Amino acid sequence: MNKSLEDEKSSISWILVAAIFACITTLLFLCSIICSFRSLKLAIDVIDASADFIRDHKRVIGVPVLYFVFTMTFLVLWLASMTFVISENTIEAGKFPMDKNLIWKTSVKYKTWWMLFCALWIISWLKYSSNFIIMVTATTHYFNCTQENGRQGEGDLGVAFRMTYMNHTGSIAFGALIIAIIRFIRFVFLYLSEKAAEASGENPVVKGIIACGNCCLGCIEKICDYLNNLAFAYMAVSGENFCKSAWNGFLLTLTHL
């Protein structure tokens, strides 16, 4: 009986500790909501406006689908082209029947790396073009909202395509180039890191350094992708070039952290 009473008291103590912890967590959460109420309200308004925009412009949903088809078509053609390039290497018979060894030529290696870089660039360009078309459509929807039409503006998808391919193709390609360079460096880093790991005999220290380097490159890629989207969003509103839009978008973010 004494042991049962001690176990019961211990359970009550743990339940009391858990209840106190839950109360403190709830109070902290409530304080964060109160302090961030303005930001929370703004976020809800943004979601509400976005939902209204998608409801009134359902054809915008087809833009990512269209560019997904473009991307898949490009990848199929790119893989076929890469097969032809790799076939320029020397193929020798192996030790066993039906075994073949591929002897890479230096010129083919350079061609392969160049084709990889071009693929990363074009895929990024297609992705940002799709995003920019949606941004411009949303911008025209916003500026067409007036009191007379009940705040229901019409987004012009034709204007979005025209601005993307007639006015800002170079800016979108430049933003895609930045991401392509970073991703290409990351691919090269992973390729060299595999060679280093094999040469070190799977040394855990080398593996740790490789993981840290890959993580840093991934963070740089995410940051640049975020800044690119800021630049394109500002560009969709102002019509300015990429560099000016990137700088102004960055300053706008700092102003409204």
What secondary structure does DSSP assign to 149-172, as a single string?
A: TTT-PPP-HHHHHHIIIIISHHHH
| Model confidence band, residue 150 (pLDDT cutoffs 50, 70, 90) | low
| Model confidence band, residue 1 (pLDDT cutoffs 50, 70, 90) | low
Q: What is the DSSP letter of 93?
A: E
Q: What is the DSSP letter of 61?
A: G
In angstroms, how far apart are the furthest CA atoms of the chain? 86
pLDDT of residue 35: 82
pLDDT of residue 206: 80
Report if residue 34 sits inside a domain: no
pLDDT of residue 211: 86
Q: Convert the pLDDT of each residue in 80-100 to its tens digit.
A: 999 898 888 887 776 766 677
Report if residue 20 sits inside a domain: no
pLDDT of residue 75: 94
Total domains in the chain come to 1
**What is d(CA 255, CA 248) in angstroms, rounded to the nearest whole number?**
10
**What is d(CA 135, CA 8) in angstroms, rounded to the nearest whole number?**
62
pLDDT of residue 200: 74
| Model confidence band, residue 151 (pLDDT cutoffs 50, 70, 90) | low
Residue that the structure tokens 């976005």 belong to? 50
Q: Which residues of 139-152 are buried (b: 16+ CB within 10 A; e: fewer)?
A: bbbeeeeeeeeeee
Yes or no: say if 221 and 187 are a contact pair by the CB < 8 Å rule.
no
Report if residue 156 sits inside a domain: yes
80 or 256: which leads in pLDDT: 80
State the average pLDDT for the chain. Answer: 85
| Model confidence band, residue 7 (pLDDT cutoffs 50, 70, 90) | low
Lowest-confidence region among 55-59, 118-122, 173-177, 215-219: 55-59
Highest mean pLDDT among 21-35, 63-77, 187-201: 63-77
Angle at 78 (CA atoms; ends 231, 104), nearest 5 degrees = 115
Report if residue 143 sits inside a domain: yes
pTM: 0.77
The set of residues, in sequence order, having a beta carbon less than 8 Å from that of 129 and lying 6+ positions away, is 67, 164, 165, 172
Residues 195-212 have a mean pLDDT of 80
Report if residue 46 sits inside a domain: no
Q: What is the DSSP letter of 59?
A: G
Count of helix runs (H) and strand runs (E) in the chain: 8, 2
CA 141 from chain center: how many Å?
Answer: 25
Assess whether pLDDT exceeds 60 at residue 227. Answer: yes
Percent of the chain clearing pLDDT 70 (strictly above): 91
Q: Quote the domain boundaries for residue 201.
A: 64-255
Assess whether pLDDT exceeds 70 at residue 73. Answer: yes
pLDDT of residue 222: 92
What secondary structure does DSSP assign to 23-56, as a single string?
A: HHHHHHHHHHHHHTHHHHHHHHHHHHHHHHHHHH
Q: Is the dihedral of CA 74, 77, 82, 88 positive or negative?
A: negative
Highest mean pLDDT among 18-22, 103-107, 154-158, 198-202: 18-22
pLDDT of residue 252: 86
Stated length of the chain: 257
The set of residues, in sequence order, having a beta carbon less than 8 Å from that of 121 and lying 6+ positions away, is 173, 176, 177, 180
Percent of the chain clearing pLDDT 90 (strictly above): 30
3-state secondary structure of 201: coil
Report if residue 109 sits inside a domain: yes
pLDDT of residue 126: 95
CA atoms within 13 A on the CB side of 173: 9
| Model confidence band, residue 128 (pLDDT cutoffs 50, 70, 90) | very high
| Distance, first Cα to last Cα, the chain | 60
Report if residue 3 sits inside a domain: no
Report if residue 220 sits inside a domain: yes
